[in-house]
Each structure stands twice: as structure tokens, then as C-alpha cells.
């Protein structure tokens, strides 16, 4: 009979209106605040995860775009591509290979050779 009475009083929520109900209300308020904090932190965590995954996808997309652009640039820089684009303007590649021009500087005299001038 006592267990029935305890279950019945629990269902009627008598613990909320008894003399020491203030402790119970404080505890319920504490649990409510903890639940709200847990929900807020979980929401913040999920939001950051979604943002990170979005940024990772954007990085992958930009990296692939960079690789495509770089390969296109390499094709455009090739001598054959440049020659084809210049043909309509009348500019053709030279049939004579270029020659390297070497400019020799006069040899600088050492300190002792400069002293011989004064002799």
C-alpha cells in the first residue's frame, strides 16, 4: 500500500507543493539550465562541423581549379602554342637557332699589379 501511495503522490507531483519543495524546484531549475547548456553547446559544435566540411569542400574545389588553370597555362606557354597564335600576325619562329652573346669584362688587376704601376 505504501508503494502505491508513493507512486500516486509522484504522479500527482505532490513533491512540488510540499513544505521542502523549494529544494526540489532549485534542483529542477538546475537540471533545466544544464539541459539548455548541453543543447546550446551541441548546436554550436554541429554548426562548426558543418562549416568545416563546407570549407574543406571549397578548398578541394579551389585546388582542382588551380591545377586545371596551371595545366592550361603550361599548354599556352609551350613554343608550339605561341607559334600557332602568332602565325596570323606574320610572326614565325626563326629557323636559325639563337646564339649566346658573351661579354668579357676586362680582368681586374690585383693589388700587387696595381703597385707595379708606381714603380
Query: 40 vs 25, which has greater pLDDT?
Result: 40
Give the confidence band of 25 by pLDDT, cuts at 50, 70, 90: confident
pLDDT at 1: 55
Model confidence, pTM: 0.50
Per-residue pLDDT, 4: 67
Reduced to 3 states, what is the DSSP secondary structure of residue 88?
A: helix
* Cα 102 from Cα 109, distance rounded (Å): 21
Q: Is the pLDDT higher at 108 or at 54?
A: 54
Q: What percent of the chain has pLDDT over 90?
A: 40
Cβ proximity of 21 and 15 under 8 Å = yes
What Å distances lie between residue 11 and 5, 16, 34, CA to CA?
10, 11, 24
- Whether the per-residue pLDDT at 27 is higher than 90: the answer is no
Amino acid at each position: 500500500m505504501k508503494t502505491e501511495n508513493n507512486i500516486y503522490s509522484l504522479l500527482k507531483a505532490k513533491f512540488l507543493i510540499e513544505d521542502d519543495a523549494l529544494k526540489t524546484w532549485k534542483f529542477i531549475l538546475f537540471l533545466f539550465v544544464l539541459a539548455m547548456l548541453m543543447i546550446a553547446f551541441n548546436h554550436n559544435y554541429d554548426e562548426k562541423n558543418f562549416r568545416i566540411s563546407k570549407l574543406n569542400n571549397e578548398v578541394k574545389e579551389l585546388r582542382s581549379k588551380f591545377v586545371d588553370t596551371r595545366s592550361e597555362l603550361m599548354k599556352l606557354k609551350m613554343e608550339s602554342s605561341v607559334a600557332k597564335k602568332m602565325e596570323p600576325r606574320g610572326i614565325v619562329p626563326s629557323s636559325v637557332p639563337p646564339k649566346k652573346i658573351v661579354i668579357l669584362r676586362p680582368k681586374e688587376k690585383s693589388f700587387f699589379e696595381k703597385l707595379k704601376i708606381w714603380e
